[in-house]
Amino acid sequence: MTILVTGSAGFIGFHAANRLLEEGYEVVGVDNLNAYYDPALKAARLAHLQVCPRFHFQHAHVERGSDMLDLFQRVKPARVLHLAAQPGVRYSIDNPWAYAKANLDGFLSILEACRAGAVEHLVYASSSSVYGDSATIPFQEEDDTNHPLSLYAATKKSNELMAHSYSHLYGLRATGLRYFTVYGPWGRPDMSIWRFTQAIETGAPISIFNHGNMTRDFTYIDDIIDGTVAALCNYSLSGKTESSLVDSAEASSDSGRETDTLSTVFNIGGQNPEPIMRVVAILEELLGKDARCEFLPHQPGDVLQTCADLGKIRQAIGYERKVTLEEGLERWVKWFKHYSVPQ
């Protein structure tokens, strides 16, 4: 089976492509290698994947619809893992057009290519940010997601709606994964754990927003990949699992809406939110250095807390978090200190 992975030089995309190669699949990776953060890190990830002869890389922009149609026609992927996107909550405030281009036009290109190529299953990255500042903890897939606090979150919610419409109109099986604060080796330099680690190691100050009064459902990359690959490769292989594709967020009997059988979304997280300052404390211990914290006001677009309810994905594919925060941060620091990352 050939699987196409967009964003294959990105953090999650790299790990997903690597796991798929380990499991014997042919993988076509797509990435535009943009400069949102240092492309040298993306190139290093890509070089690691290209050691395997079953990995085939295509430098391309997903928002270019004709290019995607041509690519899908040539490689004929059976399944698609769409992870290419413009990430970052704060960056979306200053660069909104980048999000419309990559996250909306890009997703439409992938949907059209999947439709034209008769792809049997599309799995795509959504985000915990779609929940906004939900007062309901833990976040459940059935919760109201109509009040995103950033344009990034709004584009991810839009992706879910677009996928739903293509499932309804064209029979495309589509599964969205709402990722919760992913961290680990080969991570992104713009994310909090990388920034905290680098600052502590170098003695630079750390910007702590909302005066540290935030919690996040930090999820180690291996757990994320376990759930992602299971959703992509195992979730619809038999009649039994295909029947579980019915969205558990079924409309109530008085809503008049029919149950969706082809499009669904899952949380993938740890269901164990941690205070930001506890992360800093663990990193201080692992690095043997004290952090220089600068406590700042709340930033526009930030949510105060995240926590994933895992009931739906647990029932569908047996997903469970395996790596604790302490173990995950220890693995992360070991990689960070060992690997000569581009700065």
- CA 32, CA 92: separation in Å to the nearest integer? 19
Catalytic residue among 25, 152, 179, 319: 152
> Alpha-carbon distance 104 to 99, whole Å?
7
Answer yes or no: 152 catalytic: yes
Radius of gyration of the chain (CA): 19
d(CA 33, CA 7): 9
Number of helices followed by number of strands (H, E) in the chain: 13, 13
Nearest C-alpha neighbor of 130 from the set 144, 116, 110, 119: 144
d(CA 17, CA 4): 9
Contacts of 324 (CB under 8 A, 6+ apart): none
Q: Are 39 and 33 in contact (CB under 8 A)?
A: yes
Yes or no: say if 24 and 326 are a contact pair by the CB < 8 Å rule.
no
Contact predicate 317/225, CB 8 Å: no
CA contacts within 13 A on the Cβ side of 28: 19
First and final C-alpha spacing in the chain: 37
Distance in angstroms (rounded) separating the CA atoms of residues 272 and 233: 26
Phi, psi of 274 (to 5 degrees): -125, 140
**Which residues are marked as active site?**
152
